[in-house]
Each structure stands twice: as C-alpha cells, then as structure tokens.
Structure 1
Amino acid sequence: MTEFLGLTWDHPRGRNALQAASGDIGHGDTLRWEVQSLEGFESAPIDELATQYDLLVLDHPHLGDALATDSIRPLDTLFDAAQIDDWSTAAVGPSIASYRMDDRLWALPLDAATQVCARRRDLVAEAPATWDHALALAERGLVATSLAGPHAFVSLCAIAVSFGDDPGGSDGLFAADIALHALDMLTRLSANAPAGAADLNPIGLLDRMRDRGDIGCIPLIYGYVNYSSPVLAFADAPSHDGVIGSTVGGTGIAVTRRSEPSPALLAHIRGLMSDEAQRGFIPQHDGQPGLRSAWTESAVDAAAHGFYSGTLATMESAWVRPRVAGYIPFQSVASSIVRAAVAGARTPESALSEIEDRFAALAERPFPSASAREESA
C-alpha cells in the first residue's frame, strides 16, 4: 500500500477533475492532491516541489529547470512506445510536443490552453479578427490587456509571432524590428484599459469582465472554459496577414524522481488521459481536455458555449516557449520590463535590449546532457 501525493493549481479547472478521481486508485494504493496558487504554479522552483510530491502539474517552460535538476522521470521509462505514440497523435495542437525534450516525453497534457480572445457578448458583437480591429476597440475604451505576472511578456511574444517572428528560434530572442512593432501594438492596446486591470491575473481579469462589465474585450488571454457563458465568449486570437499569434500554456502531469510509481498509479494516469475521460469525465469536472477528440466533440463544445470550436484554430497553431534552465525567472523579469515599457517608464529600445541581454545569458548557463542526467539518476 502506497499513498501518492500530487500538486496541482488552485482553480476548478486545475483541481476538480483530479480530486474527484483521486482517493483509492486500486490495489490498496491511494492518491491525494494538494493545490498551489496560480502565481505559485507559474513561478515556484520545480526542483523544490519535486522533493515533496510524486506527481506535479506543470507548464512546459518548467522543463528546462526540471531537467537541469533531474527532478522528473522521462515517461518513456514508464509507458510503452505504442501508448506514447497514441497520445502524441491524439493531443490537440502542440500540447504534447511542448513536453518533449532530448527526444523524450516528460509530461502528459491533461489540460490544453493557449492565449485566445475573450469578449463580453453585450459590449462587443464580434471578436476582433485582426490587430487593427482590436486597436479600434481599444480606442473606444473597450479593451484590457493581460499584463500581470508573466503575461506581459508572453503577450508580447504572441503578437510578435503573428507579425512573423519565431522568438528564440534563431540567434537572439526577437527580430528587432518586429519586437518594436509588437511592443508598440501592446502599448496602444493597453492605453485606455480600466484602472487596475493591469494588476490582475487572467482569472481576475475574467472575473472583472464578467462581474463589472467595464471590459468589453481582452484580445489575448489564456482561455478558461469555465468562463465561457451567455455573458462571455471566447474566439481565436487576432491575426496579422492571416497569421494567428498565441503562446501555448496548459498543464502537464509529470512524475517526479522521488516517486516509485506503482502499476495502479500508472493505470490511473492512463485513465485520465483516455479518450473516454477526456471527452466525458474531465469536462464534466470543470477541466479543459488535452485531446483533440474532446475539442471537436459537438456535445462538449455545446456545453461550453462554443469555447472549443471558437478557439481551436488558435490552439492548433500556438507557439511553444523556450524550455531552457532559468527560463521561468527570466520570464518574470522580462514581463516586468515589458510592463515598464507599456507604462512609458522606459523606452521600447532599452526595454527590448535588456530582455535580449537577459535571454542571451540563459544560453551561457551549463546544461547537463541527457546522458549525464541518466548517469546521475
């Protein structure tokens, strides 16, 4: 008999399905889930958490630190190749690809999400299809932007992607001219936002949008199926020349090095990732499934007021962030720099130059090879 302990994030989307499925998982084994805040999920040191829990719900940018500290197990040592191939084929968008590094899979995408557009149906009749349309709404005082925590930086990246960049995909982080254009766009979108909106995380923004009615549209915000309703609608993120820019998020389940997973625990994980659970149990318990079959299931979509069909194109084309050691604290600092530039507290050129310098410093960090990590395991 073994009691396993997991850590997820404290929101109905993050906890309800996991907790409802937990308890006795078979053969005398049990599983219990604890929760941490959204801010903790986005920034807590992964190596410290891995010493306390058997299962961790994490985001793909955590992988750099997780692998550098040898904190999690490669899943190909726990599940057979055919099973992993099936999950890889079935996952929506880059949700499973984002958890691959060194030709190995490190987490399973229980939950799929990316930045999409949210609007109040009574204030904005149609979601802005392009950034020019979003700017027109901003000039009327209808737009807020998601800037708190890491979101200012990931919003900048998403806009840059729609303008044709691939941040971190070649030398440096951004193409300089595109980054300036994207930062200008983010600044103009934010100029007339309601007071206090810039301090709110995505959950707080969506709560305010729903409850106070002083926000008509958020062009880029992580999609939360729980908020899709007759009041709030979700749609694809704005595009530029037909290119949608969005930064993939969502969550994956990872098995820590401290854990000795039993057959019952592995069967439980397989059950959560099954087509039946993803199309039924997960959405019925406030989750946002990671398999395409759920996103394209008409009954699931109807129950979610069109959330899945409205955002699928964005999910399928979303950009995957760099997964290098030190990325999580870099992202936090870069976001504070972007906020300062958006607020006019520093020039766009100096802000982007500092972000580039800080990103370049990440590449200079020593990172153990896969073979070295295996030898230390």
Structure 2
Amino acid sequence: MSTPAYRGLTWDHPRGYRALEAAAAIVAPTHGLSIAWDRHPLEGFESHPIADLAQRYDLIVLDHPHVGEAVAHDCLLPMEQVIGADAVAALEPAAIGPSLVSYRYGGQHWALPLDAASQVMAYAPARVGTPPQTWEEVNALASREPVALSLSGPHAALTFQSIVASLHAGGRPEERFVDPHTGREAYELMARLTGDATRARIDQNPIALLEALSNGEDIALVPLVYGYVNYARTGVAFADAPRGPVGIGSILGGTGVAVSRRCAVTDELRAHLLWLMSEEAQTAFIPAHEGQPALRAAWADRQVDAAWNGFYSSTRATLEAASLRPRHDGAIAFQTEASARLREGLLAQEPAATVLAGIEAAYTRHHTRGTET
C-alpha cells in the first residue's frame, strides 16, 4: 500500500515554515504519510485568493480574515469533518485568546490554530529602557526617539483597529466599520505618530521593521507590530501593546492550517494534524523549530519562555485580549482598500472626517448586509 502524499502551502518566514518542514521530515513518516510544503511570501499569505490556492494544495496555512471568502467559495473542509467535533471542542479551552474561535464561521471551524500572534510592542532596549505602557507615553517617547507605525500592506488598517480597540469597548457598531468619534480619535493619534520615522519606513512590513530593530538601525520603537518570537533572540525586546482608556488594544494575527476540498482525508493525515495541535508538539517541537505555538500551555511554559528571552510572558496579556478582524467574504479587499486610504490620508495630512468617510464607503461596498463579520 502506498504512503499517502500531500502538498501544503505556508508562508516564507522561519516562523511559518521551519516547524512544518521539520514535522514533515521527522514526524509525518511515523504517521505513515508524506507532506511537501511550498512557501509563498508574506504579502501572498495576506492577500492571495484562498479559492485559487485550494485548487492546488491539500493543506493551506491561512489567517482568519480569509474564512468568509473560503466559505463563500466552498473550497475548504470544516474541521468538524476532518478531525471530529469532539476534537475541535477540546481545543476551545486549550487555545490561547480567540485563536480557535477566529476560524469559526457559519457554525463550523475552517482551520486549526497552528500559530498564535497579535500586534504587540517591539523596541530597542538600549534606546528605550522601560517600554511605554500607554498611548500617552508612546507619544511622549516619540518626541525624543524615532517611533515608527506599521503601515505597509494591510497593516495600516490593522494598526488603526488595534488603537480603536484600546479606546472603545464593545466591538464594531452595527453595519459600520467604526464608531465615528472613536475612529477620529484613533486617526488623530496615528497622525501624531506619522513623523519622519514612520514616513521613512512606510513600505516596510512587520518582518522588515523587526529586522531594522534587530540590526540597530535608526528606530527605537514600533508600538504595534505583529510579534515574531524569532527576533527575541536577536536584540529586539517585546512588550504588551499600548493601553488606552479601556485597556490593551490589539488585533489578532497568527495562522491556522486548513484542509482543501481537493484533499483526501485519511487516518494518517488526521493523526498528523492532531499531533500538530497536541501539547507535546506545541510546547516542545514547534518552539524548538522557531514556531510560535497557539496553545495556552505553551505560552505559560517557563522553559519555553526562558528559551525565547521572555517573549511569551511579555506579550501574553495582549494575545489574551486580542480582537478579531472582519471575516466576511470581501474582508480582504476591504482591508486592502482601507489600508491604502489610511496611508494616503496620513501622508497627506488629510482631516480625519475625509479619510474615515472613504473607509466607511469601502466597508459598505465590500460587506453584504446580514453576513457574519
């Protein structure tokens, strides 16, 4: 009998591929299957149509804003069908923050939370010392050190949403993207931080920003950037996201592993997926191969935390408090358009009302009334 062979796609950063490739080489054969992992760049991971990928791959590493699109195109298998409803339910209390629930849409889960992340604070400890805890303290630091916002690609909208979450409790208002008053306050805060450091790095994605901090370039702090444990060993320090009046504001990132409808699910594949989500894999194998686990047990493990210079304990509260992005079919197109409009407005110093009106118009175009968000 031949060994089941699968083709998977993940993203081209050590956090995205090393643990999966090592598991394919070391563990998958013990489960009686073969997996070949391809990679695509971060920008492809953030925006490439899932339906297209599902035609070519059995396993797809994705993030939660894609689930509405995937359901609309009926291109993924629900995890209740792949590993069973009981196994999915068992992950609910085990997964950190909203990592599992972020993939629940239309009453089913469309990926397993392989990796957990949210926007956190990253800084150069030699320049910053004690990191700021509030947005007022971030503004004060920016008056004497180069502070850069993460605004490239979709990250302008994500930074905006994280700030909104720190200013206003209760989520998005019905049929709107943001409360007008809160949106204006968040935009004006971003405008104050769109100085020379932000403008010089307007096209740098989170990886490039963290590389700049790691290399000792002229940047002291990024108040909101997706946390990458890998850089905790290269001179970058991490802390919880800045607090506003209602506490920490951060938008969930991380990745899940999804199964396409072209995939023939076997017992061997099921065993491998369950192993990837096991406490054994999440607290030992994945961190040992530069991955960023999604189980709460791994984030609370003292040995894992010490091995990565306190990254997990320094940012855990942010991940537990993280909010979800829009996930409806059209969310990726909206995210792209809203980010472009925010960048344009911030660079041109446009008033908040003009920019926010454009964002709300985009949300209306890309969101069908009555659909899940």
Whole-angstrom distance in 1 between the partners of 2:335 and 2:238: 26
Shift of 1:140: 1.5
- Whether 1:314 aligns to 2:318 is yes
Shift of 1:242: 4.8
Whole-angstrom distance in 1 between the partners of 2:242 and 2:76: 36
CA offsets 1:94-144 (integer angstroms, 9 cap, x no match): 000100112211111110000000111100011110000000111213201
Alpha-carbon spacing, 1:262–1:124, altered in 2? closer, same or farther (3 Å)? same
Q: Where does residue 21 of structure 2 map in the other structure?
A: 19
- Whether 1:338 aligns to 2:338 is no
Most deviating of 233-242 and 68-77: 233-242
- Structure-to-structure mapping, 1:261-300, within 5 angstroms: 261-300=265-304
Whole-angstrom distance in 2 between the partners of 1:339 and 1:319: 22
Most deviating of 172-181 and 136-145: 136-145
- Structure-to-structure mapping, 1:182-331, within 5 angstroms: 182-193=186-197, 196-229=200-233, 231-331=235-335
Q: Where does residue 352 of structure 2 map in the other structure?
A: 348
Q: 3-state DSSP class of the match of 2:70?
A: helix
1:163, 1:240 within 8 Å by CA — same for their partners in 2? yes
Shift of 1:25: 3.4
1:142, 1:216 within 8 Å by CA — same for their partners in 2? yes
Whole-angstrom distance in 1 between the partners of 2:245 and 2:353: 25
Q: Where does residue 363 of structure 2 map in the other structure?
A: 359
How many residue pairs are counted as aligned between the two chains?
368
2:141 maps to a residue whose letter is L
1:245 maps to a residue whose letter is G
Q: Where does residue 145 of structure 2 map in the other structure?
A: 141
Percent of aligned pairs sharing the same letter: 44
Structural RMSD (CA): 1.7
Q: Where does residue 3 of structure 1 map in the other structure?
A: 5
- Whether 1:113 aligns to 2:117 is yes
Q: 3-state DSSP class of the match of 1:190?
A: coil
| Long gaps (5+) in structure 1 | 370-377
2:199, 2:347 within 8 Å by CA — same for their partners in 1? no
Whole-angstrom distance in 1 between the partners of 2:199 and 2:366: 35
Q: Where does residue 58 of structure 1 map in the other structure?
A: 62
TM-score, structure 2 as length reference: 0.95
Whole-angstrom distance in 2 between the partners of 1:34 and 1:169: 40
Whole-angstrom distance in 1 between the partners of 2:44 and 2:287: 24
Shift of 1:169: 4.5
Which residue of the other structure, out of 136, 158, 161, is the alignment partner of 2:165? Answer: 161
1:13 maps to a residue whose letter is R
1:237, 1:244 within 8 Å by CA — same for their partners in 2? yes
2:168, 2:245 within 8 Å by CA — same for their partners in 1? no
CA offsets 1:274-324 (integer angstroms, 9 cap, x no match): 001100000000000000000000000001111100011100000101110
Whole-angstrom distance in 2 between the partners of 1:99 and 1:92: 13
Whole-angstrom distance in 2 between the partners of 1:141 and 1:82: 51
Alpha-carbon spacing, 1:92–1:28, altered in 2? closer, same or farther (3 Å)? closer
Moved >3 Å (runs of 4+)? 23-28, 165-169
1:18 maps to a residue whose letter is L
Whole-angstrom distance in 1 between the partners of 2:198 and 2:186: 21
Whole-angstrom distance in 1 between the partners of 2:154 and 2:31: 42
Shift of 1:238: 0.5
2:123, 2:220 within 8 Å by CA — same for their partners in 1? yes
CA offsets 1:321-362 (integer angstroms, 9 cap, x no match): 111001111101110100011112533211110110111122
Whole-angstrom distance in 1 between the partners of 2:99 and 2:253: 8
Q: 3-state DSSP class of the match of 2:126?
A: coil
| Long gaps (5+) in structure 2 | none
